[in-house]
């Protein structure tokens, strides 16, 4: 199964430069890392609408326009390559969320570009 990590141009540049995706961390000041520290992925493909991706990745709440850029670029991974490091943490609201818990994710490939 294919999983995707979506990001904006700044994130894409950092990931390609460092060849890793840094983990999101729980922070009492922000609603980030709802399911714990780690790298978040989804199986929702890049051909989906921006609204579908944002609705899934940001809890289905009303999404500010500036967050649309966070779906502009994506990195693709195969669950076979991730092995036991990835787990499905999607919730009862049918969100499609996968998590590589408590670590960075090596990423040597180039990002794909979506039309936002």
Residue-wise pLDDT for 66-77, tens only, equals 778 889 999 999
User: Which DSSP symbol is given to 24?
Assistant: B
Q: Tell me what the mean pLDDT of segment 18-34 comes to.
A: 81
- pLDDT, residue 27, reads 75
How far is 85 from 105, CA to CA, in rounded Å? 10
Q: Are the C-beta atoms of residues 37 and 102 closer than 8 Å to each other?
A: yes
- pLDDT, residue 39, reads 96
Q: Above 60 in pLDDT, residue 29? A: no
- Model's pTM, two decimal places? 0.89
- pLDDT, residue 2, reads 98
- pLDDT, residue 58, reads 79
- pLDDT, residue 92, reads 63
Fold of 2-113: ADP-ribosylation fold (3.20.170)
- pLDDT, residue 51, reads 87
């Amino acid at each position: 199964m294919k999983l995707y990590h979506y990001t904006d141009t700044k994130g894409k540049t950092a990931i390609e430069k460092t060849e890793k995706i840094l983990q999101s961390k729980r922070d009492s000041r922000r609603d980030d890392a709802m399911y714990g520290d780690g790298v978040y992925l989804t199986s929702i493909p890049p051909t989906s609408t921006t609204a579908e991706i944002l609705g899934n990745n940001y809890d289905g709440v009303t999404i500010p326009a500036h967050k649309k850029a966070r779906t502009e670029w994506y990195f693709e991974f195969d669950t076979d390559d991730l092995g036991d490091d990835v787990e499905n943490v999607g919730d009862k609201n049918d969100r499609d969320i996968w998590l590589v818990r408590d670590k960075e994710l090596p990423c040597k490939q180039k990002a794909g570009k979506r039309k936002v």
